[in-house]
Amino acid sequence: MINPLLQKWQTPFETPPFHIIETIHFKPAIEGAINLATKEIKAIAENSDVPSFDNTVAALDRAGETLGKITSVLFNLNSADTNKGLQEAAQKVSPLLTRFSNDITLNTKLFDRVFKIFENKENSGLTIEQKILVERKYRNFLLGGAGLKDDEKKRFREISEELSTLSLKFEENVLEETNSWVLNINDKSELEGLPESLVELASIEAERREKPGWVFTLNSPSYIPFMQYSERRDLRERMLRAYSSRAFRGNESDNRDYVLKIANLRLEIAKMLGFKNFAEMVLGDRMAETPDKVAKFLEDLFSASKHAALSNFDNIRSFAKEYGFTGEIERWDWAFYSEKLKKKLYDIDDEVLKPYFPLEKVEAAVFNLATTLYGIRFSINNSIPVYHPEVKCFEVHDKDGSFLAILYIDYHPRPGKGGGAWMTSYRDQRKENGIEVRPIISIVANFTRPTETRPSLLSFNEVTTFLHEFGHSLHGMLTKCTYESLSGTSVARDFVELPSQFMENFAFEKKWLDTWATHYATGEKLSDEIISKIKEAAVFNEGYACYRQLSFAFLDMAWHTITKQVDGDISDFESEAMSKTQLFPPVEGLNISASFAHIFSGGYAAAYYGYKWSEVLDADAFSYFTETGIFNQETANSFRKNILEKGGTEKPQDLYNRFRGKKPSLEAFLKRGGLK
């Protein structure tokens, strides 16, 4: 059988040939690619020449190119357009990939060569980028068990292979739980308060599932507006309980055992490598550096936001009473009364704004913003194969016409797609024998679908999400590095959110909205009054929002600073970890950890604090843009040259300070959020 994954890809820009790839191709292709990569690694380890940067570290960075190309397709598809076959393929190859990774880091000859280069890196005439790569490879070997004794290496292999399959299973369970639960309404009176656009989407969903009436799901475009607008408190409760108990229902998709196993195995590996806990192990190459620094950062933000959070909560509680509600405010009441109060205070809500944000216009506006700031241009290319008919594909060129990247965008929810939104890559940028290999980037989202009567109209939150993921994509597309493992978003986890969160700021700027935001049906321009209200409403309930983010960060750090095995009830553990940020009474049967994919199946273990850390950076960075002009070419060029193009080739502190001319300050973050 000819396996297209192992052939040279005869597609434009050597993009993945999705049109001829089948599920059965993955396992044999990955096995073949592992064999090829194993030979490459063996040649490096057994090289008789004196170890040098080029013949060892740079060679390691190049090794396994075919394998990386194939696995990126498999795991990206498994997140964006999966099925049982793909999930089985991913489960089967994950142990093989972990075994191969262990074969590298546990190879004594290879480690000896890397260690000699690391030891002499200051006296070898290496560039800053090369020194960073040496340091990263050396650290990867240490964290990969290179310094362990033989009996420990055996256990290290067992744990790492088990973790790879546990994380995949965790993600599969969350997806299954999200897709399998629906609220099927047959009585029209139960739709009270819901906007017409949501009702129409629910009707389409019911038809798709061959059910009567209206179907509401746990996907964001359905769940969020339902919680905001439904007058039926009992139905809001049902929705929230379903959403907040995903993978925590005692069925075959229950994740509570996986949570314990993953946390405990991570601790075992950390202790094996000489660390107190997993957080200490992974924070060594982050901006925050240590668990103590993260704890102080989170405590400082907790103190700064406490007054505002309590005030926000009291405001909603008081407003609910004015609205006629009697009783205690519960979790399923928050979004509903928040939306009502926001409407009263600012005369604005998502339903007022959505008509001004049709997806096609938002897409064009975001692209034009990148053109204004950085001169880059986007052109659709329908000849490039895509993995689903809904996926759009663009060529991206620089202002001088040179090719920069391929960008896929996949906008709408469907059963095989994970929840939320993310940016990923199919190929990372690098230089090969002095020739640029440009990246292939993808944005995956779950935005509101069009209906028979309306185009896809985005909520304001979806607009900021688009900007966020597009910021990540700019980081991936504009990068200009030499080595693949340092390019694009391959930066410290608490630095990676800076480009994405920075872009969100434009959603609140009149100068940008004025250039494109018009009503999809009437052509009416988004008025100055509404734009002013958007800006004013930006700080609405910001204290509570900060508290909520902090609660997730506290929970993440709690799971990853354990110093002994945890074997109790994960709800008890969670309640204690999040206790000081909890404003609502506890509800039996709800759990965040069981569906907290960011930390148990994503890359944010002991790193969720990074969202708030980067928010401080992005507020400080954007304050510089507002001082000089939000479209100022000199400022934008500095951000591109010092942040977006540099990847992980220098320490993030140095890159940021060079762009800003000073260290970041908490001042802009507190001011923007109304927390001062």
Cα–Cα distance for residue pair 638/306, rounded to 1 Å = 36
Which tokens sit at 312? Answer: 């926000």
Cα–Cα distance for residue pair 79/419, rounded to 1 Å = 9
Cα–Cα distance for residue pair 416/77, rounded to 1 Å = 9
3-state secondary structure 315-334: HHHHHHHHCCCCCCCCHHHH
Which tokens sit at 170? Answer: 């965790």
Please give the helix or strand (H or E) that residue 609 lies within, else none: none
Give the number of residues written for the chain.
Answer: 676
Cα–Cα distance for residue pair 126/128, rounded to 1 Å = 7
Which tokens sit at 547? Answer: 């508290």
Burial class for 141, CB neighbours closer than 10 Å (0-12, 13-18, 19+): buried
Cα–Cα distance for residue pair 637/575, rounded to 1 Å = 46
List, in sequence order, every residue forming a beta bridge with 423; answer none if it has no partner.
443
Cα–Cα distance for residue pair 489/643, rounded to 1 Å = 10
Cα–Cα distance for residue pair 154/249, rounded to 1 Å = 35
Per-residue burial over 592-613, b = 16 or more CB atoms within 10 Å of its CB, e = otherwise: bbbbbbbbbbbebbbbbbbbbb
Amino acid at site 667: E
User: Catalytic residue numbers?
Assistant: 469
Residue 518 in 3-state DSSP? strand
Q: In degrees rounded to 5, what are phi and psi of residue 443?
A: -115, 125
Cα–Cα distance for residue pair 259/256, rounded to 1 Å = 5
